[in-house]
Amino acid sequence: AQRVTQPEKLLSVFKGAPVELKCNYSYSGSPELFWYVQYSRQRLQLLLRHISRESIKGFTADLNKGETSFHLKKPFAQEEDSAMYYCALWGQGAQKLVFGQGTRLTINP
Amino acid sequence: GAVVSQHPSWVICKSGTSVKIECRSLDFQATTMFWYRQFPKQSLMLMATSNEGSKATYEQGVEKDKFLINHASLTLSTLTVTSAHPEDSSFYICSAPDGTGDTEAFFGQGTRLTVV
């Protein structure tokens, strides 16, 4: 079975502070990990994925297979980063995308 | 990016009636689409995988007779909530990969179903 856990439902930080959204996964095969974001009144959209290894809007995420984690990080938060963030896992065997519980990030001015 | 559109965006129906939600891929062909349900302030729960030309694959605990899925063409999947009850009220979201073999999911805007 594939499972994604985001331990923090809510996260609030001040503008300019570092941000880390935690994500842990469980999957017996080789996973593909994603972070999706949902801004207010918008649909879900891809933020980044582990295979691209790129930084999007200042966010990065590294897949740590030893710790089965894919934490999302940004060194300096901006107010426009306030949104709902979902970690997701695509299982090659099951061919489906499963989401974590989501973390609502609020950046305070 | 690929565009997925859902219709309607919101619907109110009476208990006992059925309601159909459409999910369309506007600029690509989708052999597979996914249906999710989202409870308030909770995550997206995968309900089923819709396969063009064949039966949908339902997740454990999802009643296939309650949530009928039809994927009759490469651009349209429908979810019909049959004999709806207030506990079926929720936000339903569909998604699809863009058909290139890439695993990125493109999401519809969601449908808010309220059963009264």
A56-83: pLDDT as tens digits? 899 999 899 999 999 999 999 999 999 9
Q: Taking CB atoms and an 8 Å cut-off, how many pairs form between chains A and B?
A: 43
pLDDT tens digits for range B43-67: 899 999 999 988 999 999 999 999 9
Helices (H) and strands (E) in chain A, counts: 0, 11
Question: Which residues on B lie below 8 Å from A44 (Cβ)?
Answer: 44, 93, 95, 105, 107
Whether A97 and B46 lie within 8 Å, measured CB to CB:
yes
- Residue A96 Cα, gap to closest chain B Cα (Å): 8
Q: Look at residues B75, B77, B87 and name the one whose alpha carbon lies nearest to residue B113.
A: B87
Q: Over pLDDT 70: what percentage of chain A? A: 100
SS3 of chain B: the string is: CCCEEEECCEEEECCCCCEEEEEEECCCCCCEEEEEEECCCCCEEEEEEEECCCCCEECCCCCCCCEEEEEEECCEEEEEECCCCHHHCEEEEEEEECCCCCCCEEECCCEEEEEC
CA distance B76 to B57: 16
- Chain A residues touching B32 at Cβ < 8 A: 95
Using only C-alpha atoms, what is the Rg of chain A?
13
Give the chain B residue nearest A41 (alpha carbons).
B109
B42 touches chain A (CB under 8 A): yes
Is the pLDDT at A95 greater than 90? The verdict is: no
What was the pLDDT predicted at A93? Answer: 79
Residue A15 in this model has a pLDDT that exceeds 80: yes
**Cis before B97 (ω within 30):** no
- Residue A49 is encoded by which pair of tokens? 């994925």
- Cβ of residue A41 closer than 8 Å to a chain B Cβ: no
B6, B34, A86, A9: CA torsion to nearest 10: 90
Residue A30 has pLDDT above 90, yes or no: no
- Decide if B15 contacts B85 (C-beta within 8 A): yes
Chain segment B3-48, per-residue pLDDT in tens: 999 999 999 999 999 999 999 999 999 999 999 999 877 789 999 9
Question: Of the candidates A9, A90, A100, which has its C-beta nearest B103's C-beta?
Answer: A90
Residue A13 has pLDDT above 80, yes or no: yes
Torsion of CA B114, A42, A22, A75, to 10 degrees: -160
Contact A44 B49 (CB under 8 A): no
Whether the predicted pLDDT of A107 surpasses 90: yes
A100 → closest Cβ in B32, B34, B43: B43
Q: CB of B3 within 8 A of CB of B98?
A: no
| Nearest Cα residue in chain B from A90 | B103
d(CA A71, CA A63): 8
At residue B1 the predicted structure's pLDDT band, cuts being 50, 70 and 90, is: confident
